[in-house]
Amino acid sequence: RTFRIAAVPADGVGKEVVAAGRAVLDALAEGSRGSADAFAFDWEEFPWGCGYYERTGEMIDAGGLERLKDFDAIYFGAVGWPTVPDHISLWGLRLKICQTFDQWANVRPMQFLPGVQSPLRKADDTHLDWVVIRENSEGEYAGLGGRNFSGRGQGSEVAVQSALFTEVGCERIMRFAFDLARTRDRRKVSSVTKSNAQQYGMVLWDDVFKRVSADYPDVETESVLVDAMSAKFVLQPEDLSVVVASNLNADILSDLGSALSGSLGLAASANLNPERRFPSMFEPVHGSAPDIAGQGLANPIGAVGSGALMLDHFGLPEQAARLRKAIETTTAAGILTRDVGGSASTEEVTKALIDALSS
């Protein structure tokens, strides 16, 4: 099978890690030749991002979203650059893709890797193996609100930013989390809100969680407030398995989680349209990292791991497992970028990953 993939590196280290990810994924495909589940990638790369915006005044061209529709998946880097306001670049490209293609489930697994130091890894038996499930279509990122509600001009401006919670949106992300929990050793779903302070949407979320839980009596559950959950991430990592949260809360918790696993550069993610009516998008959790962009310092593992999630999505779990094994072989051998305490370049790690695939 040949999968048609739209590569959108966008900005900063996005370009470096997408190039690395493509090279590793192509090597994996090459190695599958002649086997029963042989596959190949047919890539098309698109130039959208902040550079494109500066040239054209748009983050993505008018026909762009329409063209993306025909691909099997989107392989994304990161969007954002200091010369363009972040709310313009993020809304103009990444959030636009997520919303147009109804990618309502954002899956963000994080775990310890061999040879990688973590701020949590005090004893060898400390365990961290989580999947953060982020509601990706509504909540705090629904885009509802506006500025200058006071109408009284400078100095007295009022802005409103509303969160949208629907019963349908809450229920589908929770069922997704429960179904995933059933495939894991630890069958547990932790729901995160701030329903003590946010008394409408988040209380609806809690109510739906209780109702949906009843359909999964074999799955352990808990409801935790987001402030307490941040502490729990640090203090009781072994007590978590699947964590389901709203758009903003899960966004914050997944950066925390990936930092706790060793580095933001390690974390992979999938933006899924579970009905498969539209292409899903695979991207590292991190942003464009302007502080290290263009220096060969970017950790490609988050992007490569996102490729493994893409293979899972295509129904190639053995190939995804081979890729994850190559990541473990590479980190165990101490071939690490600077963010995880090593001195290898993006290119050196990429080469090590490719070598590990053929060994």
Q: Which residues bind ligand NAI (CB under 6 A)?
A: 13, 17, 78-80, 86, 90, 94, 264-265, 283, 286-292, 298-299, 302, 337, 339
Q: Which stretch binds Mg ion (CB under 5 A): 142-150, 210-218, 224-232, 245-253?
A: 245-253
Contact 140, 93 (CB under 8 A): no
Chain residues 114-153 in contact with Mg ion, contact rule CB under 5 A:
none
H helices of the chain, in order, are 13-32, 50-56, 64-68, 86-89, 95-100, 167-181, 201-213, 226-235, 247-261, 301-313, 317-332, 346-357
Backbone phi, then psi, for 224, in 5-degree steps?
Answer: -130, 140
| Min dist. Cβ of residue 209 to ligand NAI (A) | 27
Contact 286, 302 (CB under 8 A): yes
Kindly give the pairing relationship between strand 129-135 and strand 220-225. unpaired
> Residues 27, 306, 286, 250: what is their CA dihedral angle, to the nearest 10 degrees?
-170
- Taking the least distance from each CB to ligand NAI, the nearer of 190 and 288 is 288
| Min dist. Cβ of residue 90 to ligand NAI (A) | 5
Quick one: what does residue 138 bind among ligand NAI, Mg ion, none, with the CB cut-off 5 to 8 Å set by partner type?
A: none
Quick one: what does residue 135 bind among Mg ion, ligand NAI, none, with the CB cut-off 5 to 8 Å set by partner type?
A: none
| Min dist. Cβ of residue 59 to ligand NAI (A) | 11
- Complete DSSP assignment for 145-162: EES--S-S-TT----EEE
Binding residues for Mg ion, how many (CB under 5 A)? 1
Contacts of 185 (CB under 8 A, 6+ apart): 241
For helices 201-213 and 167-181, angle between their N-to-C axes, nearest 10 degrees: 40
- Taking the least distance from each CB to Mg ion, the nearer of 253 and 352 is 253
Q: Which stretch binds Mg ion (CB under 5 A): 232-240, 246-254, 293-301, 307-315?
A: 246-254
Quick one: what does residue 192 bind among Mg ion, ligand NAI, none, with the CB cut-off 5 to 8 Å set by partner type?
A: none
Q: Which stretch binds Mg ion (CB under 5 A): 11-19, 201-209, 218-226, 249-257?
A: 249-257
Q: How far is CA 299 from CA 19, 20, 74, 113, 155, in A?
A: 12, 9, 20, 14, 44
Quick one: what does residue 262 bind among Mg ion, ligand NAI, none, with the CB cut-off 5 to 8 Å set by partner type?
A: none
- Give 282's strand partners: 75, 270
- Taking the least distance from each CB to Mg ion, the nearer of 135 and 251 is 251
Quick one: what does residue 291 bind among ligand NAI, Mg ion, none, with the CB cut-off 5 to 8 Å set by partner type?
A: ligand NAI
Q: What is the DSSP letter of 272?
A: E
| Min dist. Cβ of residue 79 to ligand NAI (A) | 4
Contact 327, 302 (CB under 8 A): no
Can you tell me the distance from the alpha carbon of 162 to that of 146, in angstroms, rounded to the nearest whole number?
Answer: 9
- Give 222's strand partners: 190
Find the residue with minimal CB distance to Mg ion. 251
Backbone phi, then psi, for 242, in 5-degree steps?
Answer: -110, 130
- Using rule CB under 5 A, residue 16 touches Mg ion: no
| Min dist. Cβ of residue 251 to Mg ion (A) | 4
Backbone phi, then psi, for 229, in 5-degree steps?
Answer: -65, -35
Find the residue with minimal CB distance to ligand NAI. 80
Quick one: what does residue 105 bind among Mg ion, ligand NAI, none, with the CB cut-off 5 to 8 Å set by partner type?
A: none
Chain residues 251-270 in contact with Mg ion, contact rule CB under 5 A:
251
Residue bearing tokens 């295509």: 314
| Min dist. Cβ of residue 255 to Mg ion (A) | 5
Quick one: what does residue 251 bind among ligand NAI, Mg ion, none, with the CB cut-off 5 to 8 Å set by partner type?
A: Mg ion
Q: Which stretch binds Mg ion (CB under 5 A): 70-78, 159-167, 230-238, 244-252?
A: 244-252
| Min dist. Cβ of residue 44 to ligand NAI (A) | 20
- Which residues form the interface with Mg ion (CB under 5 A)? 251
